[in-house]
Structure 1
Amino acid sequence: MLGTISRQLKSHPALIPLLFFIGGGCAMSMSYLARLAIRNPDVCWDRKNNPEPWNKMAPTDQYKFFTVNMDYNKLKKDRPDF
């Protein structure tokens, strides 16, 4: 497999940027999926000790990847404790 790729890259050097950007896109998508699996409060890996992880989130915790004009430090709690 690697021999075929290296042979084609030697004969067609214009494929090097294509391979670089496709590899970078795959790496970024895998890292984003890993972040979603670890940091998202909707995902529960341990149901026995933490069955509802979204209830333990404070209103000042930032779990979104990107927010526009949002200051999490000024938010107040708007839900009851369970």
Structure 2
Amino acid sequence: MSSILGTVAKQVKSHPALIPLFIFIGGGATMSVMYVCRLALKNPDVSWDRKNNPEPWNNMGPNQQYKLFTVNMDYSKLKKDRPDF
């Protein structure tokens, strides 16, 4: 692993114009990993504990936001539109 970092450091020292490329690629990779982790942990469609909570989407309230980004949606004014099980 250190040989890879040494090669990258050598390339950056000899070509300083590569620094923004490494920054943007590293930032994009970090954001994509964070988004996948958020989907795995916060999305109600994912069930990690099938024995105690096999259907986690039934425990979501009608005014609970689980999407990352919504346009023109006020979750506090939503009413319940499904039956209790």
* TM-score, structure 2 as length reference: 0.95
Aligned residue in 2 for 1:56:
59
Unaligned runs of 5+ in 1: none
Per-residue deviation, residues 3-58 of structure 1 (Å, max 9, x unmatched): 10000001110000000000000000000110000000000000000000000000
Q: Counterparts of 1:64-75 in structure 2 under 5 Å? A: 64-75=67-78
Aligned residue in 1 for 2:42:
39
RMSD between superposed Cα atoms in Å: 0.4
CA distance in 1, matches of 2:70, 2:54: 27
Unaligned runs of 5+ in 2: none
Aligned length: 82
Name the amino acid aligned to 1:41: P
* TM-score, structure 1 as length reference: 0.98
Is 1:17 aligned with 2:17?
no
Aligned-residue sequence identity (percent) comes to 73
